[in-house]
């Protein structure tokens, strides 16, 4: 599949790009140069993201009660069922009057009625009259201004009120339809539903809405050294930290999750457990961590192929996280995806936050580049050395706002991709471009913000 004139990487049989499928080829071509002079050809982060963004996904939709849609994305457009507000509405407690009557205060007017919110005024306000009105009540015919109660003096026994200050016509009244007119779109398709959007849907009369269903994600850890989470590890063992971490990340993005536990480095056992995730548990996305690189017992990339998945990339120019596999299902597994993550927890975390978030976001109804990530620009708190040839994501703290409104970004000491303890103290990941030169204190840098 390497006609002459294609960049060198397509002609190479190196493992960085194992099998090029037609849907990916155009994206890869747009990515341009994919080799480095002194390293084997590796995709960079944006090239890999372009591949993740180009795979065909099959979003599912479902009608759901408004009380169970927080964080979901809409799969329909929602319009106003009537004008909002549906009537001219008093915005203050006070007196509804004719503005012509109160041009030269103080003015004495006769109180003819009292209108509470929810009542319909049954007669108009005539010149020389006022109606006491409460916030949210319909303004009666004839009145074109509401005088706030603090600008009046009422004389209860005589049912009269003195207006002490004039107001312009229309003041303290929301015109019918002034917030939004009937039939206007109030929530766009694909919009994420937070508390305010849910309130809008409720306002326009929706009790159920059509939403995109987040994909089901199964999580499996591999490694002879892994003890079950909560178990007592032997001397050469470590506890499986990746599954709880990845499941938490996915749950924070609204995905139903399946914990497939951990399995030893045995290709048959790995394959059986992966199949169970994809078939029995009906996972749409499978995350497998560990055994992804070139070690003697790294079987996962082979198993992914045996399952009939097409591998779209196997290695990236990223630190931490170089051995990242992304594969697309074929045949019975069409529409399903596998991320093969590095075993080291910080690497697995970074890869999931960058790449899985993007795919899961799109499968949950988001636009391609609107994943689950938030970038923040800030000023670095100390001199930074030059970065190497891989894009680098380093745990960092977000400090106070600077004089120019940019937050300070404080890098935490990098102790390697196994150091979960530093990651757990971080507010985000400081992103350094490949080959970024040394940066002086105060230089503007980017942070991938990590929410709770
Ligand atoms: P691997 O990618 O299998 O070569 O593993 C790289 C490193 O990550 C090794 O030190 C493993 O012990 C560690 N590791 C692999 N899987 C996990 C896991 N589920 N939880 C914690 N550490 C892990
Ligand atoms: Mg291993």
Does the pLDDT at position 220 exceed 80?
A: yes
User: Which ligand gives the minimal distance to the CA of 238?
Assistant: 1
- Among protein residues, the one whose CA lies closest to atom 14 of ligand 1: 343
Task: Give dist(CA 414, CA 394) in Å, integer.
Answer: 7
Q: Ligand 2 centroid to 300 CA: how many Å?
A: 10
DSSP-derived secondary structure for 321-371: --S-EEEE--GGGTT-EEEEE-SSHHHHHHHIIIIIHHHHHHHTT--TT--
If one residue of 220, 221, 229, 238 were mutated to test the ligand 1 pocket, choosing by the most ligand atoms within 8 A of its CB, it would be 238
Cβ neighbours, 10 Å, residue 306: 14
Task: Give dist(CA 253, CA 193) in Å, integer.
Answer: 12
Band (28; pLDDT cuts 50, 70, 90): very low
Task: Read off the pLDDT of residues 250-305 as tens digits, 9 standing for 90 and up.
Answer: 999 999 999 999 999 999 999 999 999 999 999 999 999 999 988 888 999 999 99
Burial class, 61, CB count within 10 angstroms (exposed 0-12 / middle 13-18 / buried 19+): middle
Q: Which atom of ligand 1 is nearest to the CA of 298?
A: 3
Q: Ligand 2 centroid to 268 CA: how many Å?
A: 15
pLDDT of residue 259: 98
Q: Ligand 2 centroid to 227 CA: how many Å?
A: 13
Does the pLDDT at position 33 exceed 60?
A: no
Greater confidence (31 vs 383) lies with 383
Band (32; pLDDT cuts 50, 70, 90): very low
Q: Which atom of ligand 1 is nearest to the CA of 221?
A: 19
Tell me the backbone φ, ψ of residue 305, rounded to 5 degrees: -70, -40
Pocket of ligand 1 (CB under 6 A): 221, 223, 225-226, 238, 240-242, 289-293, 295, 342-345, 418
Band (369; pLDDT cuts 50, 70, 90): low
Q: Ligand 2 centroid to 356 CA: how many Å?
A: 21
Task: Read off the pLDDT of residues 166-197 as tens digits, 9 standing for 90 and up.
Answer: 999 999 999 999 999 999 999 999 999 999 99
Three-class secondary structure of residue 319 per DSSP: strand
Task: Read off the pLDDT of residues 94-133 as tens digits, 9 standing for 90 and up.
Answer: 999 999 999 999 999 999 999 999 999 999 999 999 999 9
Q: Determine the average pLDDT of the residues in 386-390.
A: 96
Task: Read off the pLDDT of residues 312-367 as tens digits, 9 standing for 90 and up.
Answer: 999 999 999 889 999 999 999 999 999 999 999 999 999 999 999 999 999 999 98
Q: Which atom of ligand 1 is nearest to the CA of 323?
A: 2
Task: Give dist(CA 390, CA 438) in Å, integer.
Answer: 14
Task: Give dist(CA 266, CA 291) in Å, integer.
Answer: 10
Three-class secondary structure of residue 297 per DSSP: coil
Radius of gyration of the CA atoms of the chain, in A:
31
Task: Give dist(CA 339, CA 52) in Å, integer.
Answer: 11
If one residue of 242, 344, 345, 420 were mutated to test the ligand 1 pocket, choosing by the most ligand atoms within 8 A of its CB, it would be 344
User: Which ligand gives the minimal distance to the CA of 292?
Assistant: 1
Q: Ligand 2 centroid to 343 CA: how many Å?
A: 6
If one residue of 290, 348, 419, 424 were mutated to test the ligand 1 pocket, choosing by the most ligand atoms within 8 A of its CB, it would be 290
Burial class, 250, CB count within 10 angstroms (exposed 0-12 / middle 13-18 / buried 19+): buried
- Among protein residues, the one whose CA lies closest to atom 12 of ligand 1: 225
Q: Ligand 2 centroid to 162 CA: how many Å?
A: 84
User: Which ligand gives the minimal distance to the CA of 264?
Assistant: 2
């Amino acid at each position: 599949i390497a006609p002459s004139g294609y960049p060198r990487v397509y002609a190479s049989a190196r493992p960085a790009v194992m099998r090029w499928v037609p849907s990916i080829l155009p994206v890869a071509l747009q990515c341009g140069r994919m080799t480095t002079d002194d390293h084997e050809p590796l995709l960079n982060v944006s090239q890999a993201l372009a591949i993740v963004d180009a795979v065909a996904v099959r979003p599912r939709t479902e009608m759901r009660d408004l009380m169970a849609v927080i964080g979901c994305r809409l799969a329909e457009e929602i319009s106003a069922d009537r004008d909002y507000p549906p009537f001219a509405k008093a915005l203050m407690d006070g007196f509804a009057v004719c503005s012509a009557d109160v041009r030269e205060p103080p003015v004495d007017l006769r109180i003819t009625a009292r209108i509470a919110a929810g009542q319909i005024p049954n007669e108009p306000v005539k010149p020389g009259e006022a109606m006491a009105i409460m916030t949210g009540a319909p303004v009666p015919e004839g009145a074109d201004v509401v005088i706030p109660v603090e600008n009046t003096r009422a004389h209860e026994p005589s049912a009269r009120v003195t207006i002490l200050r004039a107001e312009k016509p229309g003041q303290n009244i929301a015109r019918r339809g002034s917030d939004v007119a009937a039939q206007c779109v109030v929530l766009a398709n694909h919009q994420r539903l937070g508390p305010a959007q849910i309130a809008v849907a409720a306002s326009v009369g929706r009790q159920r809405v059509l939403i995109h269903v987040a994909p089901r994600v199964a999580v499996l850890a591999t490694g002879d050294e892994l003890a079950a989470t909560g178990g007592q590890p032997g001397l050469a063992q470590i506890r499986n930290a990746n599954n709880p971490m990845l499941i938490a990340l996915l749950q924070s993005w609204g995905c139903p999750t399946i914990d497939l536990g951990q399995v030893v480095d045995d290709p048959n056992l790995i394959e059986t457990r992966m199949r169970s995730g994809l078939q029995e548990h009906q996972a749409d996305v499978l995350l497998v961590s560990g055994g992804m690189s070139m070690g003697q017992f790294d079987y996962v990339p082979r198993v992914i192929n045996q399952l009939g998945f097409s591998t779209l990339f196997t290695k990236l120019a990223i630190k931490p996280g170089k051995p990242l596999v992304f594969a697309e299902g074929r045949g019975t597994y069409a529409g399903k995806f596998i991320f093969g993550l590095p075993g080291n927890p910080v690497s697995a975390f970074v890869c999931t936050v960058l790449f899985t978030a993007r795919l899961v976001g799109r499968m949950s109804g988001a636009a391609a580049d609107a994943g689950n990530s938030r970038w923040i620009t800030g000023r670095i708190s100390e001199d930074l050395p030059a970065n190497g040839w891989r894009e680098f994501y380093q745990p960092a703290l977000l400090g106070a706002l600077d004089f120019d409104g940019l937050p300070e970004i404080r890098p935490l000491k990098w102790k390697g991709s196994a150091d979960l303890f530093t990651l757990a103290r971080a507010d985000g990941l400081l992103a350094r471009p490949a080959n970024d030169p040394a940066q002086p204190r105060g230089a503007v840098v980017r942070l991938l913000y990590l929410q709770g």
